[in-house]
Chain A
Amino acid sequence: MNAPTPWTVATVREGLVAKKISARELADEFYGRIEGQNPTLNAFLTLSKERAYTQADKMDALIARGEPLPPLGGVPIAVKDVISTRDVRTTCGSKILETYVPPYDATAVERLERAGAVVLGKTNCDEFAMGSSNENSAYGPVRNPAAPDRVPGGSSGGSAAAVAAGLAVAALGTDTGGSIRQPGSFCGIPGLMPTYGRVSRYGLVAFASSLDKIGPFTTNIPDAAAVLALIAGYDPNDSTSANVPVDDYLEAIERPAGGLRIGVPEDYFGEGLDSEVKERVQAAISVLEKLGCKRIPLQMPHTDYAIAAYYIIATAEASSNLARYDGVRYGVRVPGSTLIEMYRKTRERGFGSEVKRRIMLGTYALSSGYYDAYYLRAQKVRALIAQDFEAAFQKADVILTPTAPTPAFCLGEKVEDPLQMYLADIYTVTGSLAGVPGISVPCGKTKAGLPVGLQIFGSHFRESVVLRVARAFEKNVTS
């Protein structure tokens, strides 16, 4: 599939300011692209045309009056359907919220819209963000724009596919165990997971509260920096948002990367890593070495335990968070003769199989007699994984790894085997557990033409360094 002219934050701005195109015409162009490609890709679940055109007209009015355009003025964006949008249906990829229309905006959406962004619509995802392939959506899978017989990755598959196919300039996704970075890798675009607490989660439908983060997909690093700069920062409506100053990311990314210490943990290059992925990632590391970065070999010995710890912690938190879907206050209700029967029928009918599987696993891990053996032990192993990261960041400024062990796999390839699907998250869940920021940047393609991603981790709140290394790499391979 040929991607049309890639618009970026910068080219949208140039076009609007020079009056080569209006914000309304730009919205028209993107809706035209969506109309053409969405029947194949299934990236969008709901379009918010009224809201988009109202905002576009507002931007056009500013330009007509000669007033300054806000930083994302007229930039068409998409929002993952687990993030609340006022008066625009938010399904979380689930039947149980098929008709749910939030009465308020998530802070991240509100901030982007205040900065002039035009919200085109809501993107498909694995149900309640639980999945690594987007095949767990109640509204059908998304196809990978780079290879339509393959998955776009998950859970933010719709957001990744939309940006990769040129159906939005940027998109918000969410990352709990890799749900931004892995689809970024599979679709061949940058996907950034910020530090835990960096971006407000007010209005994000909760999956695993100690792990969930909101972050952007874009087509280049300056756009990722521009979006992060707007959504980052303390929000009194989210008690887990951190009151830490926000760096000037746009300035930071243009600083040369020479002299930075790049840590390479051997634990991420062992068994299970596809040989072509390994080759591309090693080549990317060499590029950074040539730019003057100093390669530091690292050991992160608890990496191999991350999947087990992650899938206990994430499912335990999910089983608690998803208890709220009971057919009482919102969403679908299936009637029953008693309250309990109503709960059970509603949840049986409303949830898909992966969501039920995770609720079962999490409930089991938290249940009397098993709590110490599973949940408590997983939390202790989480501490060991976080210590691996702390020790690594004593020696290195960033950590470089593959984002995923393989390129995008085929639709249907892993659906029957949940454990195999979980194991594919091996390189992303580590950073999720530690709460550090990480990005996936495209670092070439396999012989079959499938994108490969380089993952860059930084220490807490050091998104500026992560983006700076990503930018140095991007500039070197695109120029």
Chain B
Amino acid sequence: MKISREDVLRVAELAHLELSAEEIETYRGQLDEILTYVDKLKELDVSKVEPMAQVLFSSTGEDTENSHQELREDALHPCDVAPAVLSQAPDAAKPFFRVPKVIDR
């Protein structure tokens, strides 16, 4: 068994998920099965392989034929979207988002 009930609870807490008792058991079994499958990655010797984090830029940061990095000018652009954005908030107290009290005092 790769993953215990305690592991599931710890991960759920990290991910801010509140799971039912039934979900905890289901996920434990399914994650265990998936992680057991994923273990096949251990068959490969990757000691000399550089990790690939993304596709567009070379891992060394050099400008190569395969790098298509495009950095834009660091210039200010007017951005007047606050009213539109706040209109989608479940609880807005313009110009703020309102949330339950965080600081106890």
Contact = CB atoms under 8 A, between A and B. Distances in A.
Given A305-B40, A364-B11, A331 B90 contact: yes
Range for the number of chain A residues in contact with chain B: 35 or more
A363 B14 contact: yes
B88 interface: yes
Given A196-B55, A337-B100, A360-B8, A327 B19 contact: no
A418 B30 contact: yes
B64 interface: no
Interface residues of B, number: 54
Contact of A328 (B7, B10, B97): B97
B41 A381 contact: yes
B88 A326 contact: no
Nearest to B14: A363
B1 interface: no
Contact of A333 (B23, B84, B87, B91): B91
Contacts of B27: 356-357, 360
B76 interface: no
Given A345-B18, A356-B27, A374-B38, A242 B56 contact: yes
A360 B16 CA distance: 10
B105 to A, nearest CB: 14
Interface stretch (A20-28, A382-390, A401-409, A467-475): A382-390
A364 B28 CA distance: 12
Nearest to B77: A236
Interface stretch (A10-18, A280-288, A307-315): A307-315
The residue among A197, A319, A335 with the most chain B CB atoms within 10 A of its own CB is: A197
A329 B85 contact: yes
B97 A308 contact: no
B21 interface: no
8 contacts: A103-B84, A329-B85, A330-B90, A348-B19, A356-B17, A367-B14, A376-B51, A419-B30
Closest 5 pairs (CB-CB, A-B)? A435-B55, A103-B84, A379-B51, A333-B90, A242-B68
